[in-house]
Structure 1
Amino acid sequence: MELYLYIALFAPLVGSLFSALFTATPKSSITGYVASGLLFTSFVSSAILLNYVMGGHTVHVEMMTWMATGDLYIPFGFVVDQVSVVMMMVVTIVSTVVHVYSIGYMDHDKGFNRFFAWLSAFVFSMMVLVMSDNFAGLFIGWEGVGLCSWGLIGFWYHKESATWAANEAFIMNRIADLGMLIGIFLIYWNVGSLQYDVVFAEVGNLQPVIITWIGIFLFIGAMGKSAQFPLHTWLADAMEGPTPVSALIHAATMVTAGVYLVVRANPIYDLIPNVGIFIASLGAFVALFAASMALVNRDMKRIIAYSTLSQLGYMFVAAGLGAYWVALFHLMAHAFFKALLFLGAGNVMHAMHDELDPFKMGGLRKVMKGTFVMMTLASVALAGIYPFAGFFSKDLILEVGFVEHHYVIYTVLLLTAGLTAFYSFRLVALIFHGEERYKLFGIHPHEAYKFMLVAMSPLLVLAIIAGSFKMTYYQLVINLLPSTQYHVHSATTFWIMTIGTQLFVILAILFAYKKYSNWNSVPDGTSKMEKSFGYKLLWNQYYIPKIYDEVFSKPYLELSKIAWKQIDLKIVDATVDAIANAIYKTGENTRDIQNGNLSSMLRWMVVGLVVLMTLAVAFNVGYNVFGA
């Protein structure tokens, strides 16, 4: 089984290195085929490992020693257990689909080869993150996906908006990663190891205040990677990258790494329930907060990004309340239908010549039937309609909130479910229904390549049936995660909740269709609604980016200018320049020594001899006087 572990881990790296060989050459389709084939190989190996782990086994290898100094020992160790194998399957399934899809999506892009080099490198980093058996290895993968996301968000570096978004994502994640690094340092200082098994066995012996601080700092890292408030602004801006990047990184893998960290560190968070309540409360707030911004946005990809942010809030609610297996289940189910939504949006974007405003579309179901069906069904899954995957995972989180008596959290999540259904089908209605408004802009849309639709079909199937794997998944992960079942004890209450939630969501869908399915104009900002305070508040993201710009960015820029002019130029540069000038002038004044004139050189020889004799005499006198 160790061989399959190494294949699953390193196949994406081989694909990345192979594609990197061609980055300076014109587009070569072979890079896409090889990278996709190697990702499929990784998926097959992960599936074989899943079958092995379901038999009650784990695979644990130590490839080599990384650090061994004093009491610090960190190996390059990897583990395939009940939690990591779930993440491996999610990563490899979505990655394989995205790689094959990208062959068509990036077909005419000059950076085709470079794109696959970055994309496969990202998958390798993500596999390192989820498969490592220690916090240091997890951190290596953590930083690797951060680097690769920077390269992929800013892939079209000729666009200033893309490079700005890439830098924003990178910097904001580095801020959060400092917190995570402090948490890892605290673990080592107090436990003496970073190996998961050692840390989780010993953490119960630490003082409660130490455990609390470890949990807080680790969660700060999770907040950045999973874009939780107030470190959330980068996620929507990251939509500047190619759409396959959004499907892979910002829907299914990297942004869920924060949830994975909390799930993996569950023995720590079980000891600090107060921190868990904070995590759940923040998650509920973010779920509603992000959903509200999606209500008015007019950028197709940003709407789906806000939806991702909202669903990450759901996952943190479950993890914060101790329902780790529920959080991981929703992570898995969400990955499938959200990646499908992003890829469908990529089809629409290509068909509409990169137009992202759904108000400029309409009636596309006539020319994009396949994409219409897939995005509609993905939206049904996102809304949580029975029997789609979202129903089994998202409604389960609502049950967790109710069973644990956190009724405020439950109410917030229920309201968010209605908003999710509304904005999801607002998007579907505006894109695929109503009048063909795109004709006003001279656009002639077309369906994506058939093989791209075929590549998307596994995600469609999983978005429909993934919920049926619930009990199989549960039996798998309870070997590592707390096995609490969350059931409303009263059957009457359960059915009222379930049917009530379904009716609420269906009414939200019908309302969205009634309002937007026959839309026949493009808003120009003059309507009463668009001028209202509430609309402007949501449109401007609660003015949080503006606040960050005024409170942090501009003062930091001014401080940087002062440091540059007053410290760098007048002190640092001036000191270096003074030393250089002194040496230069010394050389200028002493160059006559080597002017080639015999009489002049003899004079300097005499001067040198006198100096040496004087030093020799002074040395002897000093030694006789003081040496004795």
Structure 2
Amino acid sequence: MEAFLYSALFAPLVGSVFGIPFATREKVLSVAIFASLMIGVSFLSSLFLFVYTFQNGILKSVLMDWIGAGGLYIPFGFLVDGVTATMMIVVTLVSLCVHIYAIGYMKHDKSFNRFFIYLSAFVFSMLILVVSDNFAGLFIGWEGVGLCSWMLIGFWYQRDSASFAANEAFIMNRIADLGMLLGIFLIYWTFGSLTYEEVFNNIYEAPKGILVAIGILLFIGAMGKSAQFPLHTWLADAMEGPTPVSALIHAATMVTAGVYLVIRANPLYVMIPEVGFVIASLGAFVAVFAASMALVNRDLKRIIAYSTLSQLGYMFVAAGLEAYWIALFHLATHAFFKSLLFLGAGNVMHAMNDKLDISKMGALYQPLKYTAILMMLASIALAGIYPFSGFFSKDKILEAAFGSGAYILWGMLLLGAFLTAFYSFRLIMLVFFGEKKHQEHPHEAYPYMLYAMLPLGILAVFSGFFEPFFHHFITHTLPDFDSKLDSQIVWNLIFITSFVALAGIVFAVIKYYKGGFSPCWEQTFIYRLLFNQYYIPYLYEKIFIQSFIKISRFFWSQIDKKIIDFIVDGIAYMLNGAGFRLRVIQSGNLSNMLRIMFFGLILLLLLIFIS
């Protein structure tokens, strides 16, 4: 089985390295085809590993010794259990679909080859993150996906907005990663190891205060990667990258790494339920907070990005309430329908010549029929309507919240379900069924792009039915969660949740069938508050960015120029002046040189005599 592990892990790296010699050349289609084939190899290998773990197998492998210094020993080791196998399937399947789709999407881009180099490198980094058997290896993959995300968000670096968005994502994640790194240092200081098995086996012997500190520091890293409040602003701005990047990185894989970290560290968070409840509370807040901003946004991709933020909040609620397998289940189902939504948005963008304002679209159903159907299927799944996949996973999270006695969190998630259904079908109505408000001549995407979306569409509809099998499989690795609710209460909760979601859909369809809200709505305080993202980016601009610029200018003018430059220039002037005065020694005049030599000899003799 190790051969399958290494095939799954290193095939994307081979695909990336293959394209490097062609990075600056004209489009070479074979670069994209070979990269896609390597992702296909990785997916098939991951599938074999999933079957192996489904049969109760756990694979451990050490490729080589990595770090050995004093008492510190960190192997380059890998662990494939139920959690890892699930993440590998999700990452490689979505990556394969996105790679094939991107061949058409990026067809006319002058940096076609470079795009696939970056994209395959990202997949390799993400697999390192999920397959590593220790926190150090996880951190290497963690930083690798951050670097690849920076390169892909800023892929069109000629745009100032893309460069700013890439830097914002990179810097904000570096701030959060400092917390995670401190947590890893504290783990080694406490346990003398960074390997999951050794750390979690000794977790019960550690002081409670240390465990709380570790849990908080690791979660700070998770907040940055999964864009949780207040480190959330980068995700919407990251939509400046190509749409396949948004589908893979900012919907299905990298942004879920924070959720994966909490799930992987579940023995730690079981010991500190108070930290877990804080995580769940923040997740419930973000679920409503992000959904509220999606209600009024007009940018096609940003609406889906806010939806991703909201759904990540749902995952953190489940993880914080110790329903780890439910969090992982929603992570998987969400990856399918959300990446499908982003790819559909890419088709709409191409049809509309890269325009993103949904209020200036409309009547796109006929020219983009297949895209519209796939996006509607994904939106129904996102809204959580039976029998689509989102129903099964989202309903389980609401059940977990109610069964844990967290009734306020349950109420917030229920509100989030209504808002999700409303803004999802607001988008559908304005883009596909509303009044035509454009002069474009839209056309459907290439057939193979639609075929690449089809597996995601099938999984968005049917993957929820695998819940019993997934539950049986994953609870060999993760602790089971029992809400302790009788069947009547569970059915009542299902009815309430479904009714609320359907109400959101019906309200959106009726409202936007009649033309939407009146223009007066856009003049209200609430609309402006939501449209401007609660003015948080403005506050960050004023408090942090402008303050940093002022501090930098002060240090440049008062410290750099007046002190550092003065010292450096002073040394240069002194040496230059000394050289000018001493040049007489090298004048070439024999009489002067003999005279200097005589006085030097006298001085030397005096020094010898004195000493």
TM class, shorter-chain normalised? over 0.9
Given the alignment of the two structures, is residue 510 of structure 1 paired with residue 506 of structure 2, yes or no? yes
The letter of the residue matching 1:558 is K
Given the alignment of the two structures, is residue 466 of structure 1 paired with residue 458 of structure 2, yes or no? no
Taking only the aligned residue pairs, the percentage that are identical comes to 60
Check whether the contact 2:24–2:111 (CA below 8 A) recurs between aligned residues. no
Identify unmatched segments of 5+ residues in structure 1.
Answer: 620-628
Q: Secondary structure at the match of 2:202?
A: helix
Given the alignment of the two structures, is residue 560 of structure 1 paired with residue 552 of structure 2, yes or no? yes
Given the alignment of the two structures, is residue 197 of structure 1 paired with residue 197 of structure 2, yes or no? yes
2:570 corresponds to: 578
Equivalent in 495, 500, 503 of residue 496 of structure 2: 500
1:625 corresponds to: none
- Out of 460-469 and 312-321, give the one that drifted further: 460-469
- Out of 584-593 and 70-79, give the one that drifted further: 584-593
Q: Secondary structure at the match of 1:596?
A: coil
2:444 corresponds to: 447
Hey, what's the Cα distance between the residues in 1 that align with 2:606 and 2:222? 71
- Out of 300-309 and 15-24, give the one that drifted further: 15-24
Structure 1 residue 582, shift from structure 2 partner: 1.7
Q: Secondary structure at the match of 1:79?
A: strand
Check whether the contact 1:178–1:221 (CA below 8 A) recurs between aligned residues. yes
1:615 corresponds to: 607
**Structure 1 residues 174-216: Cα deviation after superposition (integer angstroms, max 9, x where no partner):** 1100111111111111111101001101121111111000000
1:348 corresponds to: 348
The letter of the residue matching 2:499 is L
Q: Secondary structure at the match of 1:448?
A: coil
Q: How does 1:382-421 map to 2 (within 5 A)?
A: 382-421=382-421
The letter of the residue matching 1:514 is I
Structure 1 residue 487, shift from structure 2 partner: 5.6
Check whether the contact 2:101–2:452 (CA below 8 A) recurs between aligned residues. yes
Structure 1 residue 395, shift from structure 2 partner: 0.5
Equivalent in 534, 537, 545 of residue 542 of structure 1: 534
Hey, what's the Cα distance between the residues in 2 that align with 1:462 and 1:445? 28
Q: How does 1:213-612 map to 2 (within 5 A)?
A: 213-438=213-438, 442-486=439-483, 488-489=485-486, 491-519=487-515, 527-612=519-604
Hey, what's the Cα distance between the residues in 1 that align with 2:513 and 2:238? 29
**Structure 1 residues 472-500: Cα deviation after superposition (integer angstroms, max 9, x where no partner):** 211222122111233631x3322222122
Equivalent pairs, count: 611
**Structure 1 residues 611 and 479 mapped into 2: Cα distance closer, same or farther (>3 Å)?**
farther
Structure 1 residue 592, shift from structure 2 partner: 2.2
The letter of the residue matching 1:108 is H
Structure 1 residue 334, shift from structure 2 partner: 0.2
Hey, what's the Cα distance between the residues in 1 that align with 2:213 and 2:296? 39
Hey, what's the Cα distance between the residues in 1 that align with 2:41 and 2:397? 34
Check whether the contact 2:246–2:342 (CA below 8 A) recurs between aligned residues. yes
Check whether the contact 2:398–2:410 (CA below 8 A) recurs between aligned residues. yes
- Out of 61-70 and 399-408, give the one that drifted further: 61-70
Check whether the contact 1:430–1:519 (CA below 8 A) recurs between aligned residues. no
Q: Secondary structure at the match of 2:76?
A: strand
Hey, what's the Cα distance between the residues in 1 that align with 2:147 and 2:448? 30
The letter of the residue matching 2:513 is S
Check whether the contact 1:72–1:193 (CA below 8 A) recurs between aligned residues. yes
Q: Secondary structure at the match of 2:82?
A: coil
The letter of the residue matching 2:339 is A
The letter of the residue matching 2:330 is H
Hey, what's the Cα distance between the residues in 1 that align with 2:387 and 2:604? 98
1:626 corresponds to: none
Structure 1 residue 518, shift from structure 2 partner: 5.0
Given the alignment of the two structures, is residue 91 of structure 1 paired with residue 74 of structure 2, yes or no? no
Check whether the contact 1:399–1:487 (CA below 8 A) recurs between aligned residues. no
Structure 1 residue 378, shift from structure 2 partner: 0.3
Hey, what's the Cα distance between the residues in 2 that align with 1:47 and 1:127? 14
Hey, what's the Cα distance between the residues in 2 that align with 1:462 and 1:602? 95
Structure 1 residue 59, shift from structure 2 partner: 1.5
Identify unmatched segments of 5+ residues in structure 2.
Answer: none
RMSD: 1.3
The letter of the residue matching 2:498 is Q
TM-score by length of 2: 0.98
1:170 corresponds to: 170
The letter of the residue matching 2:429 is A
Q: Secondary structure at the match of 1:193?
A: coil
